[in-house]
Amino acid sequence: MPVATPKQYEAMLDAAQKGGYAYPAVNVTSIVTINAALKAFADAKTDGIIQVSTGGGQFASGLNVADAAFGAIVLAEATHLLAEKYHVLVALHTDHCHPAKVDGFLRPLIEASRKRIAEGKGPLFQSHMFDGSVVDLKENLTISKELLKECAELNIILEVEAGCVGGEEDGHDTSGLPAEKLYTSPEDMLEVYEALQPIGRFLFAATFGNVHGAYKPGSVKLTPTILRDGQKAVTDKHGAEAEMDLVFHGGSGSELADIRETLDYGVVKMNIDTDTQYAFTRPVVTHICENIEGVLKIDGEVGNKKAYDPRGYLKKAEKNMADRLIEASKDLRSDGQTIFGTV
Question: Pairing state of beta strands 157-162 and 245-248?
Answer: unpaired
Residue 278: φ, ψ to 5°: -65, -45
Amino acid 172: pLDDT: 46
pTM greater than the 0.85 cutoff: yes
Which three-class secondary structure state does DSSP give residue 268?
A: strand
Quote the CA–CA distance of 88 and 41 in Å, as a whole number.
7
Q: Are 159 and 203 in contact (CB under 8 A)?
A: yes
Which three-class secondary structure state does DSSP give residue 29?
A: coil
DSSP 254: -
Quote the CA–CA distance of 166 and 177 in Å, as a whole number.
8
- Predicted confidence (pLDDT) per residue in 259-281, tens digit: 999 999 999 999 999 999 999 99
Mean pLDDT of 173-179: 50
**% of the chain residues with pLDDT over 90:** 84
Amino acid letter for position 208: F
Quote the CA–CA distance of 234 and 238 in Å, as a whole number.
6
- Predicted confidence (pLDDT) per residue in 58-98, tens digit: 999 999 999 999 999 999 999 999 999 999 999 999 999 99
Q: Are 8 and 1 in contact (CB under 8 A)?
A: no
Amino acid 171: pLDDT: 52
- Predicted confidence (pLDDT) per residue in 88-141, tens digit: 999 999 999 999 999 999 999 999 999 999 999 999 999 999 999 889 999 999
**% of the chain residues with pLDDT over 70:** 91
Residue 181: pLDDT band with limits 50, 70, 90: low
> Which residues contact residue 317 at a Cβ distance below 8 angstroms, ignoring those fewer than 6 apart?
32, 36, 280, 281, 283, 284
- CATH class of domain segment(s) 6-331: alpha beta
Mean pLDDT of 165-178: 49
**Count of residues making up the chain:** 343
Residues marked as catalytic: 95
Amino acid 18: pLDDT: 97
Amino acid 215: pLDDT: 47
Q: Are 6 and 87 in contact (CB under 8 A)?
A: no
Going by C-alpha positions, the residue among 118, 6, 110 that lies closest to residue 343 is 6
